Amino acid sequence: MDEAYKLELERGSKPLHVSIAEQLTAAIASGQLAAGTRLPPERQLAGSLAVSRMTVRQALGELERDGLLRRVVGRSGGTFVQEAGAEPGPAGAQGLSAALRREAHAAHAELISADVEPAGKRTSAALDLGRNERVVVIVRLRLADGKPLAVERSSLPVRLFPDIEDMDLAGSLYDLMDTGFGLRPVRALERLETAEARPSDARTIGAKRGAPILLVERIGYAADGTPVEFARDRFRGDRTWLMVESPQVEE
């Protein structure tokens, strides 16, 4: 990490991994941590902040999923601040949702619910499930600068992720899918559309009924091609933007 930037943990009411993620996000957004900067090893970060390695791993996992960090394995590997235009590697399925969260500086998620229920018709088709198969539906609130940005609803097949609803879902969901079950999404098929806010959106993200919402529907695939996640993320239209650079402009 750049010697000009020192990470100092502010201990308050927020979970420690959230505070770490928020400070790193702000440092990346402001340029204090430049693209390509290599962060210290987890053990060193944990020691300097007087927290556990798991706490540091949760914070880094969230930022990796959001496309702010990338992890490289091998002798010259480590955790690096993502460079503009860099291709996402096998560690994460970066796509529309991650890009929207990154542009809005969304730092962490809060768990709303995690329930097992029968898969509906659309979920069954997306995850290639049979009739009457069950899924774990994980609903989380994504915050940016401490304010609600999006509600994320991920459905995972129970047969692939047994009892995941009883695990710690406050950190990176993709890290948990990887370390607990070896089924991390490495690519995603996503679709973006506009929609109107529903009454439930007022309760979760504070959007007025009928206000514009950005809906991102995603199917995440493991390395062997198995569909492991069907997600529908609803973003506040007034707090979300996406910048795209095109290498060539045509009429």
User: What CATH number does residue 164 fall under?
Assistant: 3.40.1410.10
Tokens of 193: 């559309």
Question: Are 140 and 201 in a shared domain?
Answer: yes
In a domain, 86, yes or no: no
- Residues 107 and 20 reside in one and the same domain: no
Q: Is 193 found in the same domain as 102?
A: yes
Through-space distance between the first and last CA atoms of the chain, rounded to whole angstroms: 44
Mean pLDDT of 204-222: 90
DSSP assignment of 145-199, as one string? TTEEEEEEEEEEETTTSTTGGGS--SS-HHHHHHHHHS----EEEEEEEEEEPPH
Helices (H) and strands (E) in the chain, counts: 7, 9
In a domain, 143, yes or no: yes
Residues 110 and 68 in one domain: no
CB contact set of 173 (below 8 Å; sequence gap of 6+): 65, 109, 138, 140, 154
Listed range (61-70, 122-131, 242-251) with the worst mean pLDDT: 242-251
Q: Give the tens place of pLDDT for each residue, 65-123.
A: 777 887 776 666 788 887 654 444 433 445 666 767 666 666 678 899 999 999 999 99
Residues 70 and 173 in one domain: no
Does the residue 215 lie in any domain? yes
pLDDT value of residue 103: 62
Give the residue, 9 or 244, on which the prediction is more confident: 9
Q: Please count the other Cβ atoms lying within 10 Å of the Cβ belonging to residue 16.
A: 19
> Does residue 7 belong to any structural domain of this protein?
no
In this prediction, what percent of the chain has a pLDDT beyond 90?
26
Report if residue 113 sits inside a domain.
yes
Residue 187 has pLDDT above 70, yes or no: yes
Shared-domain flag, residues 100 and 222: yes
pLDDT at 212 over 60: yes
Q: Is the same domain home to 36 and 147?
A: no
Q: Full-prediction pTM beyond 0.75?
A: no
d(CA 101, CA 144): 8
Determine the length of the chain. 251
Structure-block tokens of residue 43: 């053990």
Using the predicted structure, report yes or no on whether residue 224 has a pLDDT greater than 90: no
Residue 228: pLDDT band with limits 50, 70, 90: very high
For residues 165 and 112, state if they share a domain: yes
Same domain, 41 and 153: no
CA distances, 186 to each of 19, 37, 52, 175, 223 (Å): 27, 23, 27, 12, 6
Residue 75 shares a structural domain with residue 195:
no
Q: Under 8 Å CB-to-CB from 16, ≥6 apart: which residues? A: 9, 51, 55
* Residue ranges making up the domain that contains 41: 16-81
In a domain, 91, yes or no: no
Determine the pLDDT at residue 157.
97
In a domain, 10, yes or no: no
- Our count of domains for the chain comes to 2
Residues 177 and 153 in one domain: yes
Residues 205 and 148 grouped into a single domain:
yes
